Structure 1
Amino acid sequence: MAAAVLQGDEDLLTGRCRGLVVLAAVLAGCGNGDSLENFGGATMGSTYSIKYVRHAGQVDAARVRSEVEGILAEIERQMSTYRSDSDIERFNALPANTCQRMPAPVLELVRVGEQLSEQSEGSYDLTVEPLLNLWGFGPQGREEKVPSAAALAEVLQRVGHQHLRIDGEQLCKDAAVEVDFNSIAAGYAVDTIAARLDAMGIHDYLAEATGELKAKGKKPDGSPWRIALEAPRDDQQVAERIINVDGYGVSTSGDYRNYFLQDGRRYSHTFDARSGAPVLHDLASVTVTHPSALMADGLSTLLLILGPERAWAYAEKHDIGAFFVIRADTGFVIRTSKAFDRLSGAKN
Structure 2
Amino acid sequence: MALAACDQGDSLESFGGPTMGSTYSIKYVRRAGQAAPSEVQAQVEQILAQIDQQMSTYRSDSDIERFNDLLANSCQAMPAAVLRLIEVGQQLSRDSQGSFDLTVEPLLNLWGFGPQGRGEAVPSDEALAQARQRVGYTHLRIEGDRLCKDAAVEVDFNSIAAGYAVDRIAARLAEMGIDSYLAEATGELKAVGRKPDGSAWRIALEEPRDDRQVAERVIAVDGYGVSTSGDYRNYFQRDGQRYSHTFDARTGRPVEHGLASVTVIHPAAVMADGLSTLLLILGPERGWDYAEKHDIAAFFVIRADTGFVTRSNRAFDRLFAGQKQ
Structure 2 residue aligned with 1:328: 304
2:46 aligned with 1:45? no
Deviation readout 1:14-56 (Å, 9 max, x if unpaired): xxxxxxxxxxxxxxx9961110110000000000000000001
Q: How many percent identity over aligned positions?
A: 76
2:61 aligned with 1:85? yes
Provide closer, same or farther for how the CA distance between residues 346 and 138 of structure 1 changes in structure 2, counting only shifts above 3 A.
farther
Deviation readout 1:270-327 (Å, 9 max, x if unpaired): 0000000000000000000000000000000000000000000000000001000000
Unpaired runs of 5+ residues, structure 1, are 1-28
Structure 2 residue aligned with 1:128: 104
Residue in structure 1 matching 2:265, options 286, 289, 309: 289
Structure 2 residue aligned with 1:311: 287
Residue in structure 2 matching 1:163, options 126, 131, 139: 139
Structure 2 residue aligned with 1:107: 83
- Partner of 1:177, secondary structure, is coil
2:214 aligned with 1:238? yes
2:274 aligned with 1:274? no
Q: May I ask how many residue pairs the two structures share in their alignment?
A: 319
Shift of 1:230: 0.3
Alpha-carbon distance between aligned partners in 2 of 1:31 and 1:232, rounded to the nearest angstrom: 39
Structure 1 residue aligned with 2:199: 223
Shift of 1:153: 0.4
- Partner of 1:307, secondary structure, is helix
Q: Is the 8 A contact 2:64 2:155 kept in 1?
A: yes
Pairs within 5 Å for 1:153-192:
153-192=129-168
- Partner of 1:266, secondary structure, is strand
Q: Is the 8 A contact 1:30 1:220 kept in 2?
A: no
Letter in 2 for 1:198: A
Alpha-carbon distance between aligned partners in 2 of 1:78 and 1:214, rounded to the nearest angstrom: 22
Q: Is the 8 A contact 1:30 1:221 kept in 2?
A: no
Higher share in helix: 2
Structure 1 residue aligned with 2:317: 341
Q: Is the 8 A contact 2:179 2:193 kept in 1?
A: yes
Deviation readout 1:127-186 (Å, 9 max, x if unpaired): 000000000000000021110000000110000000001000000000000000000000
Shift of 1:75: 0.1
TM-score (norm 1): 0.90
- Partner of 1:296, secondary structure, is helix
Alpha-carbon distance between aligned partners in 2 of 1:346 and 1:242, rounded to the nearest angstrom: 13
- Partner of 1:242, secondary structure, is strand
Shift of 1:344: 1.5
Structure 2 residue aligned with 1:118: 94
2:24 aligned with 1:76? no
Shift of 1:115: 0.2
Structure 2 residue aligned with 1:147: 123
Letter in 2 for 1:45: G
Alignment RMSD: 1.1
Alpha-carbon distance between aligned partners in 2 of 1:334 and 1:40, rounded to the nearest angstrom: 31
Deviation readout 1:79-102 (Å, 9 max, x if unpaired): 000000000000000000000000
Structure 1 residue aligned with 2:170: 194
